[in-house]
Amino acid sequence: MRLSSLARLAGLLVLASCVAPVDTDQAVGPLSLSLVSGNNQSAPPGTELPNPIVARVEDSRAHPVKGQIVNFVVVSGGGSVFAGAAISGGDGIVQERWTLGSSGVQQVEARAIDPATGAKLTFAVFNAIVLDQQPPIVFNVHTVPITPQINSPFQLNAFVSDSATGGSVVAGATYAVDSGPAVAMLPSDGAFNSDMEAVSATVPGVSAGFHNLCVRGRDAAGNVSAPACISVSAQDTAVFVSPFGNDGNPGTQSAPMLTIQAAIDAAEAGSIVLVKPGVYQEALKFKEGIELRGENLEKTVVRWTEAVEIPADQGSDFSLLAIVDCHSGTVRDLSFVYERSESTEDPGENPRLHAIRIVNSSVTIQNCRVTHFSNSGIGVYGGRSSPVLIENQSRLNQRAGIAFQDGAQGKASQNICEQNEESGVLVSGAETTPELSENQCRKNHRAGIMFRDGAQGISSRNVCEQNLEHGILITGSNTGPLLLNNQCRNNQAAGIYFMHGAKGRAENNICDGNAWCGIMVIASAPYLSGNELVRNSQCGLAYDSKSKLSLGKRNVFAEKKQGDLLTKPIIHDR
């Protein structure tokens, strides 16, 4: 027995002597690196971090790896490292010194090449924080208008930027008048979330004479800028009009003028013509650069009656307010009314009268009310026209509520156009390309919005509902608007109707509950994509054999299926 045990032991020793020994210093498996210290430090911009960044190279057994070259590379923030590379010692440790950049995200990557495979290795990422110790700067401080009216509110605007002085988010801004208390300003985009912000405030008003307005900005690190100041002179720049005034008066609040036109003629660019409540029966010619403002929309009325003869030299171009070749200016808070005699049986016999006629001008019309005119309520004409029409109401006019024609451009937003004989908004003529957005077009006789005769433009987020024919009508060769995210509901014909060679694009519109179909296409070639066509009485989509549709993203149909090819269209021109 003893002899046998000794034999077995000898055999094991011989076998062990045949196996190669393991070098415990040799790395086994893929390499990795763990952060030891120095991550997420902070320092002022352009300075070295107080402590080195330290890492440890390990193999798959978590044993330290000696002799591995590790490169340190700045990948964000514009800083620098001292050596750029380190070789791991017996403990696997590598170290580097890092100087931060001026602003922004600060990162250094530890990189190496795997000696076994040649693979690129990004071992780890070190982060650091720049301590913003520089205040933001404030610039472009200005008022609107440049010369405020005495004791009247005005706008104060400025920019606050930390992008070159630390890179922190702008956190706030204040203004002060004549070393008075600081008053908060608001970000123009609604939130302080960027290293540069446009800020504004409405200053309640100042007395006559010169005043210092100073703006300060504050960044998220708590740094407050030096004040940026301007000097403004408040003057009595308004010209007042009252039914109890006299055109021989100077137009001050205590001695107003009688007629609006006399005040317009007396006003200088940058001035306000302030019209007191009352009824003014006159036709007006606007002047470049002024603001024509009613004191009360409900009670400040410019009126024309059928009994008053239209000047012979104006004819079909007559309007209560003519704006011609004006590159700036504002009209707001006025009502315009045309009163027709009850004995007039045929409206077509009336002269074609606009409330506001804009020709080759770029003005703003805001919060005005237009009613009962024998032409379009607001007409925009000419290739040099680019007005902004916002928050107006145009009702019961014999043509359109608002019309863009003859190459006009501009924007119409948040207007209400109701019960007009032709359409709520009309866009007509080649190169006529306005932007229509968030308007409400209801109960108009032809369409909520009509594009015709080669017009282009954009219609987005408009509500066209309960119109006596179509929600949106596109008609005529080469007429090709872009229709985006409109809602065409409960119209007595089609939600959207392309006809007579029309083109254009209709994308992501909702056509719901219309008496014919959601979208109808007759002898036209539109692009249709992503539209929701539901609960329409006859079909979701109808088209005839002369039409060439292009279909993009799937259009949604519900309850009423897509129409077949129509050999006998259910559409009839009106």
- Domain assignment present for residue 8? The answer is no
- Domain assignment present for residue 257? The answer is no
Cβ distance 539 to 569 under 8 Å?
Answer: no
Predicted confidence at residue 117, as pLDDT, reads: 76
Predicted confidence at residue 310, as pLDDT, reads: 60
Can you read off the two tokens belonging to residue 409? Answer: 């451009």
Q: What is the residue-wise DSSP string for 418-435?
A: ES-SSEEEEEESTT---E
Reported as type and span, the H/E element at residue 6 is: helix 2-17
Mean pLDDT of 325-337: 96
Residues 145 and 100 in one domain: no
Specify the residue for token string 């504002």: 330
In percent, how much of the chain has pLDDT > 70? 88
Q: 100: closest CA among 135, 127, 70? A: 127
Q: Which residue has the higher pLDDT, 70 or 342?
A: 70
User: Could you tell me if residue 83 is left (phi over 0), alpha (psi between -120 and 50 degrees) or otherwise beta?
Assistant: alpha
Note if the pTM is more than 0.75. Answer: no
Q: What is the residue-wise DSSP string for 178-239?
A: TT---EE-EETTSS--SSEEEEEEEE----SEEEEEEEEEEETTS-BPPPEEEEEEEB--EE
Residues 206 and 126 in one domain: no
∠ Cα 183 185 190 (to 5°): 150
In this structure, the number of other CB atoms found within 10 A of the CB of residue 20 comes to: 5
Amino acid at 522: I
Looking at the predicted structure, is the pLDDT value of residue 334 above 70?
Answer: yes
Cβ distance 258 to 242 under 8 Å?
Answer: yes
Q: Which residue has the higher pLDDT, 361 or 76?
A: 361
**Cα gap 380→357, rounded to integer Å:** 6
What phi and psi, each to the nearest 5 degrees, are found at residue 148?
A: -65, 155
Number of domains present in the structure of the chain: 2
Average pLDDT for the chain? 87
pLDDT tier at 316 (50, 70, 90 boundaries)?
Answer: low
Domain end, chosen from 234, 249, 269, is at: 234
Three-state secondary structure call for residue 352: coil
Residues 227 and 142 in one domain: yes
pLDDT tier at 32 (50, 70, 90 boundaries)?
Answer: confident
Reported as type and span, the H/E element at residue 15 is: helix 2-17
Cβ distance 53 to 70 under 8 Å?
Answer: no
**Cα gap 239→250, rounded to integer Å:** 8
Q: What is the residue-wise DSSP string for 355-368?
A: EEEEES---EEES-
Q: pLDDT digits over 502-527, tens only?
A: 999 999 999 999 999 999 999 999 99
Residues 103 and 183 in one domain: no
Q: In what order do the strands lie in the sheet with 565-566?
A: 284-285, 319-324, 354-359, 378-381, 400-405, 423-428, 447-452, 470-475, 496-499, 517-522, 539-544, 565-566
Question: Which CATH number goes with the domain that contains 62?
Answer: 2.60.40.10
Point out which residues pair with 94 in neighbouring strands: 55
Predicted confidence at residue 10, as pLDDT, reads: 42
Residues 118 and 155 in one domain: no
Given the DSSP bridges, would you call strands 411-413 and 435-437 parallel, antiparallel or unpaired?
A: parallel
Q: pLDDT digits over 437-472, tens only?
A: 999 999 999 999 999 999 999 999 999 999 999 999
Q: pLDDT digits over 364-403, tens only?
A: 999 999 999 999 999 999 999 999 999 999 999 999 999 9
Residues 117 and 168 in one domain: no
Domain end, chosen from 130, 149, 170, is at: 130
Question: Which CATH number goes with the domain that contains 170?
Answer: 2.60.40.650
Mean pLDDT of 561-565: 48
Residues 124 and 144 in one domain: no
Q: 461: closest CA among 509, 426, 495, 428? A: 509
Amino acid at 52: P
pLDDT tier at 481 (50, 70, 90 boundaries)?
Answer: very high
Predicted confidence at residue 157, as pLDDT, reads: 96
Can you read off the two tokens belonging to residue 144? Answer: 């609107």
Predicted confidence at residue 341, as pLDDT, reads: 64
- Domain assignment present for residue 522? The answer is no
**Cα gap 467→493, rounded to integer Å:** 8
**Cα gap 139→213, rounded to integer Å:** 13
Three-state SS string across 176-188, please? EECCCCCEECEEC
Mean pLDDT of 475-494: 96
Predicted confidence at residue 311, as pLDDT, reads: 59
**Cα gap 524→2, rounded to integer Å:** 107
Residues 149 and 92 in one domain: no
- Domain assignment present for residue 87? The answer is yes
Q: 438: closest CA among 389, 475, 403, 394? A: 389
Predicted confidence at residue 365, as pLDDT, reads: 97
pLDDT tier at 421 (50, 70, 90 boundaries)?
Answer: very high
Residues 119 and 82 in one domain: yes
What phi and psi, each to the nearest 5 degrees, are found at residue 140?
A: 55, 50
Domain end, chosen from 79, 110, 130, is at: 130
- Domain assignment present for residue 336? The answer is no
Three-state secondary structure call for residue 265: helix
Residues 154 and 223 in one domain: yes
Residues of the domain holding 150: 137-234
Find all residues with CB under 8 Å of 490, minimum gap 6, and list them.
465, 466, 512, 513, 514
Burial class (CB in 10 A: 0-12, 13-18, 19+), 550: exposed
- Domain assignment present for residue 179? The answer is yes
Residues 93 and 166 in one domain: no
Mean pLDDT of 114-126: 78
pLDDT tier at 569 (50, 70, 90 boundaries)?
Answer: very low
Looking at the predicted structure, is the pLDDT value of residue 178 above 90?
Answer: yes
Predicted confidence at residue 87, as pLDDT, reads: 92
In this structure, the number of other CB atoms found within 10 A of the CB of residue 418 comes to: 19
Q: 319: closest CA among 330, 299, 334, 304? A: 304
- Domain assignment present for residue 448? The answer is no
Q: 436: closest CA among 454, 463, 418? A: 463
Peptide bond just before 135 cis, omega within 30 deg: no
Three-state SS string across 145-192, please? CCCCECCCCEEEEEEEECCCCCCCCEEEEEEEECCCCCEECEECCCCC
Q: pLDDT digits over 140-175, tens only?
A: 999 988 878 788 899 999 999 998 887 788 999 999
**Cα gap 540→144, rounded to integer Å:** 50
- Domain assignment present for residue 352? The answer is no
Predicted confidence at residue 208, as pLDDT, reads: 80
- The rounded radius of gyration (Å) of the Cα atoms in the chain is 37
Residues 68 and 156 in one domain: no
